[in-house]
Structure 1
Amino acid sequence: MPRSDQRLTARPRIAADDRWEVGSSFPLMPASGPGTTRLPSPLRLYGTGRQALLALLRMGRTDLGWTAVHLPAYYCPPVADAAATVLPVRRYDAGPRGHVEPARPGPTEVVVAVSYFGDPPAAPATRGAALVVDSTHDPFAPWLPSAAADYVLAALRKTLPLPDGGALWSPAGHRLPAQPAPSLRHRAAAGQVLAAMCLKAAYLSGAPVEKSAFLSAFAAGEAAYGSTAISGPSDYTREVLPAMPVDRWRRQRMANAVVLGDALADVVGLRAHVHPFGVVVECDSAERRDALRAALVTRRVYPAVLWPQPPDAPRRHLDYSRRMVHLHTDHRWGAEDMLRVAARIRDVLAPATGPRRADAGDIPGGRGQQDRRPIRQIRER
């Protein structure tokens, strides 16, 4: 029997709309409906996208004679650090705003090209030993067959409601690493994240669940995912992934991005860039970005910074990372939700910005009306 001060007490449900929020990690969602995943074959599944890259680099070093890996200067820092545990890392000057200096690998060196926010990556000057495309932000993009990649990898849980999962395949038909079994440590970490997803789903539905309960479970699982040990995915991800209506969810994400981008088109002090992965808001200063981000969090909109860059990063990449936020537009939401997000952004910025609309000169590296081009193009992808 529990002690009297430890007994569970019933708590009332909360109206679901009072739990409305946009952004952050996925809750548990059913994998149902038309449009199931077009999985490449053969395919290797890992615990995380980082593990997929490490498995490939280890095979390349041991069996294929790879001697170095070229990574873009603008890349997820923990992933770059993990790659450096396998091969020497060379950085080439590439990022979301285009290439300044393409990779020039030697014959035994491999290049990783990144699909920033789901856009096709720029090709290296020379291919080297292999071209690897990181398509995490749009894992099954229709442009992938034309990318001429030797290998493609993706962290699946960035776009899909999965507790874990990284994928690796070779469009060119090259040899792949052996499929690993899930480790006990990874099973435990994925179990924590899956529990967090269940709790978050209950919370969003209005159940009497404390937000701190699923946030701490997410944090514990994420910390364990930082290991460089390689594992297969959880049983849940392996079984559910083929049943997910990825094509339909992808179309919803892109349609939502267009709605949000259009709604932000004339907001002073920022530029809204529409991508297959969502909307990137580029503010005219780091101070405005920080203020906007903090204010949105208090309004239950949780933007992401992709990615914070170290102080010694190239200046233009560091500046960009300090002025940008990514707004989620995935299938959890519809057009009305996107308009609510836009209204909150206007509420935050309106008191400080005044009536003048920003022009290209207000945004460092601004490109005037060209910034509107992705909004039209995304409808055609």
Structure 2
Amino acid sequence: MQKSVIGYGSIFHKSDTAHISNISNTGFLGEHELFYAGRFAIKHVIYCILEHKAIEHIWLPEYYCPYVKNWLEQEFSAIKYYDIDPFDADAQIDWSPFSSSDLVIANNFWGLKENVLPEGERPIVIEDHSHGWLSKGCIESNADFCIASLRKTLPIPLGGIAWKPIMGNCDIPLKSLKDTSIDTEINPMLKSWDLIENAMKTKATCTNEEEKIDFLLNNSQGETLLRNTQEIVPLLKRHEDVICSNLFKDFNAYKRANLNFILKTLESSQIFKVITRDKNIPFGLLLAFKDWGLFTNFKQFLITNMIYPAELWPQNRIAQEYKFLLNIHLDFRYNEEDLEYMSNTINQWTLQQSYINTEQEL
């Protein structure tokens, strides 16, 4: 594997994680179920709730993954949206629009959010920890149910989880997923897993552009299969074993150390702000922008320099001052030399923009 070919970011490569230790506090999970994706976990939890309680509206954050929005809108007709600032870690949900007959999906934005639930009569709450698996807000949650897309944190092809937090007090059970057998020839999640796993394996040994194109194509095909699958497909045992072997690995320790390193070398900017929070570990290096043109210019500059950020998320328009977010991965794949390259590249763009602004003011 050559980083001069594969660059920095994008999908995980196939990795040996045996040397990474588990976290000490694994007792926060109550009843739980594993899935191929977080969206299947959300769907399963909602149907568990509907078996025991009539729901008037299902509320999602206005700023949310567009694929999940679309996926849930295809499944449920009672979807509504509420406003919360995704780039202010201290912002709390305004619970006043909701009734006790509603269901609210609260997002642990970027692993930095600790949602405060109202006391007394309130809606059912599902917390989404997809960008904050094993974060403080995840481990200390007292929501009724929680879900997460695990493959955003764990180096696995697919994976999701639903659970009832130990600190919650909801009496609606999380039922087990029906163990239905699907022929391997038509199992879309088996095909999706194999395609993405092949992409990860190819990336791990990639040394040229042809191999790079190959793993990107395999990954894209696997993602398309996942995106187009509405049915909840039960996990195969061998896939469950892969997820379980990585489930409690302390990948966040690497993010914490790498973020601390890069923040010491990153120049301040008037164009973007770094989203972080003391005593919390963010999903990565989170850079929020006000201006779409500068956002896209910066994103393209990174890609030109072989840094592949994730836009979290496209197709969202909000009223807040900061509107657009890029995440640059700072996980266990990267050493100090890599982090210096990322920081120097970002600083180069910041300096260029400073010169441009100075020229325009003259």
TM-score range, shorter chain: 0.7 to 0.9
Q: Does 1:43 align with 2:35?
A: no
Q: For 1:224, what is the secondary structure of its paired residue? A: helix
Shift of 1:27: 1.0
| Alpha-carbon contact 1:70-1:89 (below 8 Å) kept | yes
| Alpha-carbon contact 1:273-1:281 (below 8 Å) kept | yes
Q: Aligned residue for 1:343?
A: 344
TM-score, structure 2 length as denominator?
A: 0.84
Q: Aligned residue for 1:142?
A: 136
Q: Aligned residue for 1:222?
A: 223
Shift of 1:24: 0.6
Q: Aligned residue for 2:292?
A: 286
Q: Please, what is the CA RMSD of the aligned residues?
A: 2.7
Shift of 1:355: 10
User: C-alpha separation between the residues in 2 aligned to 1:142 and 1:349?
Assistant: 32
Percent identity of equivalent pairs: 21
| Alpha-carbon contact 2:177-2:234 (below 8 Å) kept | yes
CA spacing shift, 1:245–1:339, aligned 2, 3 Å: farther
Q: Aligned residue for 1:63?
A: 52
Q: Which amino acid aligns with 1:255?
A: A
Q: Which stretch shifts more, 216-225 or 145-154?
A: 145-154
Q: Aligned residue for 1:241?
A: 243
Q: For 1:18, what is the secondary structure of its paired residue? A: helix
User: C-alpha separation between the residues in 2 aligned to 1:91 and 1:245?
Assistant: 31
CA-to-partner distance for each residue in 1:218-251, whole Å, 9 max, x for gaps?
Answer: 1111011112211223544411223228443210
Q: For 1:43, what is the secondary structure of its paired residue? A: strand
User: C-alpha separation between the residues in 2 aligned to 1:132 and 1:281?
Assistant: 27
Q: Aligned residue for 2:200?
A: 197
Q: Which runs of 5+ in 1 are unaligned?
A: 1-14, 358-381
CA spacing shift, 1:34–1:300, aligned 2, 3 Å: closer
2:83 to 93, 115, 130: 93
Q: Aligned residue for 2:273?
A: 271
| Alpha-carbon contact 1:66-1:129 (below 8 Å) kept | no
Shift of 1:284: 5.0
User: C-alpha separation between the residues in 2 aligned to 1:276 and 1:326?
Assistant: 10
TM-score, structure 1 length as denominator?
A: 0.80
| 1:66-215 equivalences in 2 (<5 Å) | 66-84=55-73, 85-98=75-88, 99=91, 102-103=94-95, 104-123=97-116, 128-171=122-165, 172=168, 174-181=172-179, 183=182, 184-203=187-206, 206=207, 210-215=211-216
User: C-alpha separation between the residues in 2 aligned to 1:207 and 1:354?
Assistant: 36
Q: Which runs of 5+ in 2 are unaligned?
A: none
Q: Which stretch shifts more, 49-58 or 280-289?
A: 280-289
Higher helix share: 1
Shift of 1:142: 3.3
**How many pairs does the alignment contain?**
336
User: C-alpha separation between the residues in 1 aligned to 2:118 and 2:247?
Assistant: 37
| Alpha-carbon contact 1:28-1:201 (below 8 Å) kept | yes
User: C-alpha separation between the residues in 2 aligned to 1:333 and 1:96?
Assistant: 27
CA spacing shift, 1:315–1:188, aligned 2, 3 Å: same
User: C-alpha separation between the residues in 2 aligned to 1:112 and 1:283?
Assistant: 25
Q: For 2:320, what is the secondary structure of its paired residue? A: helix
